[in-house]
């Protein structure tokens, strides 16, 4: 692939090449143990900001900062080591870029050569392309000031430095400070890019030709070689339904744009918001339908921040090339604890006892109350939640029975019933932990309630539509059932301001909760970490491990171009992909294919040298659903 032309690129060091200001970090090191360290470091940082945004002159900012510094020569190696760990993420990601264009990149900084040179040398930028100030020292090795003869120590120093360089051809400046913009203002650069990955200075942003949140964005805009195929700051994330804030934090740290919407959206609302969104995060209320998918022009992944995925058209997502990830384990313990607390509360008839006490009625009676020890617990659905509930309930002395349509390894002394009806007839407490597949609709109705023992207790913490709610209400009113706890409903309010309506309201010994099975701080934090990590692995490396609708592949790291190809599962597609690569003499370093009944997922790692036409031809391979160059 031919190397594109690069204008001369002038890059600032502090808060651009690195995430921090060098003098601020030096102050932090030099003032260790100083009683006023926090105040002095704060004063230095304030002076840095004032000089960078143009509110005071640069020379005044530099002079006053060095006066507060109290640094010595031996502090500099410590500073260099620290700065090497604080190079801007997008600069690190594109390390190879600097070696590809020797002699075209200058570091022009009002910082100091002593700590800049060794940091940028790791990126192949030689010392003669570093233009910066130098320290002066007294006989004891204290930093006493700076070389005043260096033009970069003065106001307008970068302007004068660029005049002396007298670079032929186009010049682009990338920086975060006002002094960087002044190069463009003086007519010595064709374009100024305000770099905002680490800090945003409003006065600088307002004057920039372009604002770039990352080095990836700069390279992308100028069609220059980059590690990623697409800047992360262009990836839009839409998070709905009050997802725990850790998810937003993780996505923002990755460099994505994040939009938050409180509560769920109905289909029309989501259709209106989904255009341009790359990653959608939902919980259980929002429905991802075919109509939503038809409007989703950039969607690559959906995160279900919960266990269930019946609210998502999984096959529709698959055929659109959209990977779906959920959190199958993260809230298991929370749901188990809720179920266990409900069993005990209902066995002791606590809901009606508490209500009477609030009404001023003292009803001290053991009627209808019993211990759970020795009672028969019937678990319908022996998955992650059902198995853990089985273990905990057995530890309380309960006899555990279960029914599942799949063969599952029983834990402890749990006993499997062959049919659902057999379980319903013999246990004292029935708890549902099934998935939301359509065939489970009204799994438990009037016939099933009639089979249960008189006085039995019933729990549903799985999916609202799996229970015939009017039939449950009738069984409770008749006294056939001794109590019930329901956390999920066929229709649930989209927001906390919408009223809740149900036939179960007001019935005795009935616990109604607003779908809070996984609503604990621990569960929500775990989910908010787990789902973004899966999605970001998919976006960054192509890994689909634990996707609920894509073929699962765990990929190795590879220093090559990685091509992601999603296609309809029909014969011959892999051969066509390889024909394109062979005809263009592209060397394959690794290739991985996995299929399911609807799609094929091919990951191809190729040599970094290839013609641009290769990508266009791969996009147009017959039966392609989605294609992207990963890096």
Strand-pair partners of 400: 377
- Angle subtended by helix axes 22-30 and 37-53, to nearest 10: 170
SS3 of 400, please?
strand
- Who has greater pLDDT, 135 or 2? 135
Strands 399-403 and 376-380, by their bridges, are parallel
Q: Spell out where 171-306 has E strands.
A: 171-175, 191-195, 210-212, 236-240, 257-261, 279-282, 301-304
Give pLDDT tens digits for 530-557.
999 999 999 999 999 999 999 999 988 7
* Cα gap 265→284, rounded to integer Å: 11
What pLDDT does 265 receive? 93
In this predicted model, which residue has the larger pLDDT, 122 or 435?
Answer: 122
Active site residues: 463, 492, 515
428: left (phi over 0), alpha (psi -120 to 50) or beta: alpha
More confident residue, 475 or 42: 475
Tokens of 231: 């800047």
- Average pLDDT on 569-595 reads 93
Q: Model confidence over 63-91: pLDDT tens digits? A: 888 888 888 999 999 999 999 999 999 99
Nearest to 268 by CA among 242, 283, 280, 286: 286
Rounded to an integer, the average pLDDT of 325-333 is 90
- Give pLDDT, residue 4: 58
Mean pLDDT of 397-425: 95
How buried is 305 (Cβ within 10 angstroms: 0-12 exposed, 13-18 middle, 19+ buried)? Answer: buried
Q: What is the rounded distance in angstroms from the CA atom of residue 474 to the CA atom of residue 485?
A: 15
Convert the pLDDT of each residue in 248-297 to its tens digit: 999 999 989 999 998 889 999 999 999 999 999 999 889 999 999 999 99
Count CB atoms within 10 A of the CB of residue 234.
Answer: 17
Q: How far apart are CA 131 and CA 159, in angstroms?
A: 12
Q: Over the stretch 214-258, which tens digit does the pLDDT of each residue have?
A: 999 999 999 898 888 789 999 999 999 999 999 999 999 998 999
pLDDT of amino acid 529? 95
pLDDT band at 2 (very low <50, low <70, confident <90, very high): very low
> What is the separation of C-alpha 508 from the centre of its chain, rounded to a whole number of angstroms?
43
Query: For residue 27, how many C-alpha atoms fall within 13 Å in the half-sphere facing its CB?
Result: 25
Model pTM? 0.75
Confidence tier at 1 by pLDDT (50, 70, 90):
very low
The mean pLDDT value for 167-179 works out to 95
Those residues whose C-beta lies under 8 Å from the C-beta of residue 357, and which sit 6 or more positions away, are: none
Closest CA to 208 of 189, 192, 219: 192
Taking alpha carbons only, the member of 485, 484, 437 closest to residue 465 is 437
Q: What is the DSSP letter of 485?
A: E
Mean pLDDT across the chain: 93
Could you give the residue ranges of the DSSP H alpha helices within 239-330? Answer: 245-253, 267-273, 290-295, 314-320
Helix axis angle, 384-395 relative to 332-347, nearest 10°? Answer: 50
- 132's enclosing H/E stretch is strand 130-133
Question: What whole-number distance in Å separates Cα of residue 484 and Cα of residue 442?
Answer: 16
Q: Determine what percent of the chain is predicted with pLDDT higher than 70.
A: 99
Helices (H), 397-543: 420-426, 446-451, 469-477, 521-541
CA 556 from chain centre, in angstroms, equals: 21
Q: Quote the pLDDT of residue 3.
A: 55
CA angle at residue 467 from 476 to 405, to 5 degrees? 125
Say how far apart CA 203 and CA 201 lie, in whole Å: 6
The H or E element that residue 118 is part of is helix 113-121
Instruction: Please check the confidence at residue 603 and state whether its pLDDT lies above 60.
Output: yes
- Asked if residue 426 lies in contact with residue 378, where contact means CB atoms within 8 angstroms, the answer is yes
Q: Which of 89, 59, 73 is nearest to 29 (CA)?
A: 73
From start to end of 50-129, where are the E strands? 105-112
Residue-wise pLDDT for 120-160, tens only, equals 999 999 999 999 999 999 999 999 989 999 999 988 999 99
């Amino acid at each position: 692939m031919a190397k594109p032309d690069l204008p001369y690129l002038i890059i600032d060091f502090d808060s651009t090449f690195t995430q921090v200001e060098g003098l601020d970090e030096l102050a932090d090191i030099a003032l260790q143990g100083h009683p006023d360290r926090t105040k002095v470091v704060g004063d230095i940082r304030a002076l840095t900001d004032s000089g960078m945004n143009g509110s005071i002159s640069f020379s005044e900012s530099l002079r006053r900062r060095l006066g507060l510094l109290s640094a010595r020569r031996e502090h500099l190696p410590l500073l260099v080591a620290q700065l090497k760990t604080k190079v801007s993420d997008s600069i690190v990601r594109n390390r190879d870029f600097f070696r590809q264009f020797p002699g075209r990149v200058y570091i022009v900084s009002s910082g100091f050569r002593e700590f800049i040179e060794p940091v940028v040398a790791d990126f192949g930028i030689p010392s003669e392309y570093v233009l910066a100030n130098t320290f002066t020292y007294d006989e004891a090795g204290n930093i006493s000031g700076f070389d005043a003869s260096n033009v970069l120590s003065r106001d307008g120093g970068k302007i004068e430095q660029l005049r002396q360089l007298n670079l032929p051809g186009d010049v682009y400046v990338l920086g975060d400070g006002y002094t960087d913009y002044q190069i463009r203002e003086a007519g010595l650069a064709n374009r100024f890019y305000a770099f905002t990955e680490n800090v945003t200075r409003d006065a600088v942003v307002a004057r920039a030709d372009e604002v770039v949140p990352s080095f990836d964005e700069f390279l992308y805009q100028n069609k220059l070689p980059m590690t990623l195929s697409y800047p992360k700051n262009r990836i839009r994330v839409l998070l709905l339904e009050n997802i725990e804030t850790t998810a937003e934090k993780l996505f923002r740290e990755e460099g994505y744009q994040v939009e938050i919407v409180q509560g769920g959206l109905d289909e029309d609302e989501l259709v209106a918001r989904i255009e341009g969104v790359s990653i959608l995060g939902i919980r259980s209320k929002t429905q991802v339908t075919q109509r939503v998918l038809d409007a989703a022009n950039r969607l690559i992944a959906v995160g279900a921040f919960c266990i269930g995925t019946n609210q998502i058209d999984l096959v529709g997502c698959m055929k659109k090339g959209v990977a779906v990830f959920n959190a199958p384990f993260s809230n298991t313990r929370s749901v188990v604890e809720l179920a266990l607390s409900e069993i005990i509360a209902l066995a002791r008839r606590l809901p009606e006892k508490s209500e009477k006490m609030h009404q001023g009625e003292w009803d001290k009676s053991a009627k209808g109350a019993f211990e759970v020890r020795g009672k028969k617990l019937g678990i319908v659905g022996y998955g992650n939640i059902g198995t853990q509930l089985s273990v905990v309930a057995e530890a309380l002395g309960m006899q555990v029975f279960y029914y599942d349509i799949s063969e599952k390894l029983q834990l402890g002394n749990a006993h499997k019933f062959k049919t659902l009806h057999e379980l319903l007839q013999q246990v004292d407490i029935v708890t549902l932990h099934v998935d939301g597949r359509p065939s489970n609709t009204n799994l438990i109705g009037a016939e099933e309630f009639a089979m249960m023992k008189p006085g039995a207790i019933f729990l549903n913490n799985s999916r609202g539509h799996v229970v015939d709610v009017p039939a449950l209400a009738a069984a409770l009113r008749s006294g056939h059932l001794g109590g019930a706890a329901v956390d999920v409903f066929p229709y649930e309010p989209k927001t906390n301001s919408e009223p809740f309506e149900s036939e179960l309201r007001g019935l005795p010994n009935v616990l109604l909760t607003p779908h809070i099975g996984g609503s604990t701080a621990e569960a929500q934090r775990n989910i908010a970490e787990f789902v973004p990590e899966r999605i970001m692995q998919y976006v960054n490396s192509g890994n689909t491990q634990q996707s609920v609708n894509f073929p699962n592949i765990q990929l190795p790291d590879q220093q090559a171009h990685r091509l992601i190809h999603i296609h309809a599962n029909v014969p011959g597609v892999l051969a066509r992909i390889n024909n394109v690569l062979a005809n263009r003499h592209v060397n394959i370093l690794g290739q991985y294919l996995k299929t399911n009944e609807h799609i094929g997922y091919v990951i191809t790692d190729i040599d970094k040298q290839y013609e641009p036409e290769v990508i266009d031809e791969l996009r147009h391979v017959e039966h392609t659903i989605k294609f992207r160059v990963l890096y």
